[in-house]
Amino acid sequence: MKTFAVSQSNYLPWKGYFDLINNVDIFVLYDTVQYTKNDWRNRNRVVTANGISWLTVPVIQKSLDQRINEVEIANQCWQRKHWLTIEQSYKKTPFFAKYSPFIKPVFEREWSKLSELNVFLLSELCRLLGISTKFVNAADLNLEGDKNMRLIQIAKELDSQNYLSGPAAKDYIDLRLFKQEGISVKWMDYTNYPVYPQRSSNFEHGVSIIDLLFNVGPNFDSYMQRSVRENTF
């Protein structure tokens, strides 16, 4: 039976985000919900010679209830800055030469919408990671009601009986509703990731996936947990 996961698109996400994608058959990009400031939608972190540094895509938020897929990028000056930071931070890593030709072109294009940038990056990075999960846009689905009902509607439209969620959703998921609909719920477990060679004295797991790619190359799979914890109803 098909398994699905749901998440907002993020900018250059961390390895756990790709573990979630890899563990399902269908990944729903939920960019029809409200955009939140100072979140992972338009920024992420990399390891530099001076420690952890944020890469932030400047955006125009026209209203507080604006959807993620409506958010426009403010200007095109950020691309050069982001790439220079990435290049300076990782040019001496073992696999920068191998992967940079696939990543650099993203910063040479003009982007108007944040969601389009994020989805393109996700697709390219999944290709590099050998992840073949199908992507579906929530905008193409008919969703109504509260968070739980919309997730149940997604399951029905995708003809899926298995939902894989990040642990943060435990705060609002009503497991009784899912059980009534015959949908099983499983939780991702992001603990106990192995440490990998990183150009930092204080190892940090929560940085962009490119840190893992540039440092360990084709061995990235050894440092991604791919662990799922099943819920008991």
Read off the pLDDT of residues 191-211 as tens digits, 9 standing for 90 and up: 889 999 998 888 999 999 999
Mean pLDDT of 66-75: 96
pLDDT above 70 covers a percentage of the chain that reads 97
- If pLDDT is split at 50, 70 and 90, which confidence band does 233 have? very low
pTM exceeds 0.75: yes
**What's the angle, vertex CA 121, arms to CA 93 and CA 109, rounded to 5?**
95
pLDDT at position 160: 97
CA distance 44 to 38: 10
Residue 177's Cβ-side half-sphere holds a number of Cα atoms within 13 Å equal to: 13
Closest-CA residue to 212 (of 220, 222, 204): 220
CA distance 84 to 178: 47
pLDDT at position 101: 96
CA distance 76 to 91: 23
pLDDT at position 228: 44
Per-residue pLDDT tens over the stretch 152-165? 999 999 999 999 99
- If pLDDT is split at 50, 70 and 90, which confidence band does 226 have? low
Per-residue pLDDT tens over the stretch 16-54? 999 999 999 999 999 999 999 889 999 999 999 989 999
Contact 35/229 with Cβ under 8 angstroms? no
User: Is pLDDT at 185 greater than 50 in this prediction?
Assistant: yes
- If pLDDT is split at 50, 70 and 90, which confidence band does 1 have? confident
Closest-CA residue to 24 (of 41, 44, 4): 4
